Amino acid sequence: MAFSNPNAVIYLVDDDFSIRDSLKILIQSKGWSVNCFESAEAFLANYNPNQAGCLILDVRMPLMSGLDLQETLATKGIFIPIIFISGNSEIADSAKAFRAGALDFFEKPFENQLLLDRIAEAVTKDMSYRDTLEEKTKARQCYDSLTSREKEVLQLVVSSYSTKEAARALDISHRTIDAHRARVMEKMQANNLASLVAMVMNFDLLKNQPSQTH
C-alpha cells in the first residue's frame, strides 16, 4: 500500500506532456510532492541532491536518454532511487537499467497502484540511505576529533584488548589507558563498549589504520 512522506519529492522526467500531466495528478492525489521536467538536462539543472525522494524516468528522450541520465547521476555520486517507465523499449534497455541499479522498470501502460507502491518503497530506501550516510558522517567527525593516542587506544579496544594488554602494547600505565578510553567513549558519543565497537565496524572507521597485534 502506497503512503506519502511530506519531506520527500518525486521527480518525474518525461518528454511527453500528457504522460507528465497524468502521472503528476496521480502521484499528487496520494499526497506526494511532484517536480516535473521535460528533459534530463532540465532535471540536472534543477535537482537538489539534499532533498530526499525518487526519480521516475522515461527511457527514450531526445538528446540525453534516461539511461544516459542514470549513468551521469552515478558519475556525480548521486544515488537517488530510479523507476524507469517506457512505451517503446527493448529488453537490453531494462537489463542495462537494472545492472546500473534501477529499482524497477515499467512498460506503458502499467498499473497505477503498483507504481505508487514502488514510489513509496523507493522513498523509504532513499531516506534510509540518507539516515545511514548522516550517521556515518557524524561518526567520522567524532573519530577525526580523537588524538593520535586516542585512536591507538580505540583500535586496541575494538580489537578486544584488555586494559592490561593495551597498556603493554602502548607501553603506558593501566590508568592512562582507562583515561584515554573514557575520553574516546565521550568523543565518540558511545553509551557503552558494544555501541562503540558497532560504530567502528559499521562505518569502517579504522579502515586505513595500521593493525595492532598481540
Q: Kindly tell me the burial class for residue 87, based on how many C-beta atoms sit within 10 Å of its own C-beta (0-12, 13-18, 19 or more).
A: middle
- 55 and 88 part of one domain: yes
Domain range for 77: 9-133
- 111 and 153 part of one domain: no
Q: How much is the pLDDT for 209?
A: 52
- 66 and 129 part of one domain: yes
Domain count, the chain: 2
- 24 and 128 part of one domain: yes
- Whether residue 212 is contained in a domain is answered as no
pLDDT band at 211 (very low <50, low <70, confident <90, very high): very low
- 98 and 24 part of one domain: yes
Of 163, 161, 188, the C-alpha closest to 177 is 163
Q: pLDDT of 188-201, one tens digit each?
A: 999 998 999 999 98
- 50 and 72 part of one domain: yes
- Whether residue 54 is contained in a domain is answered as yes
Q: How much is the pLDDT for 5?
A: 63
Domain end, chosen from 79, 113, 133, is at: 133
- Whether residue 207 is contained in a domain is answered as no
- 123 and 19 part of one domain: yes
Which residues, 6+ apart, have CB-to-CB distance to 53 below 8 Å?
Answer: 8, 9, 10, 11, 80, 123, 126
- 176 and 77 part of one domain: no
- 109 and 161 part of one domain: no
40, 63 contact by CB (below 8 A):
yes
Cβ neighbours of 99 (radius 10 Å): 8
Which residues, 6+ apart, have CB-to-CB distance to 133 below 8 Å?
Answer: none
213, 157 contact by CB (below 8 A):
no
Helix and strand numbers (H, E) in the chain are: 9, 5
Q: pLDDT of 78-105, one tens digit each?
A: 999 999 999 876 778 889 999 999 999 9
Q: Say whether 27 sits in a helix, a strand or coil.
A: helix
Q: How much is the pLDDT for 6?
A: 60
Q: Say whether 131 sits in a helix, a strand or coil.
A: helix
- 127 and 79 part of one domain: yes
- 76 and 172 part of one domain: no
Q: pLDDT of 132-189, one tens digit each?
A: 999 999 999 999 999 999 999 999 999 999 999 999 999 999 999 999 999 999 999 9
Mean pLDDT, residues 30-41 = 95
- Whether residue 208 is contained in a domain is answered as no
Phi, psi for residue 34 in degrees, rounded to 5: -125, 130
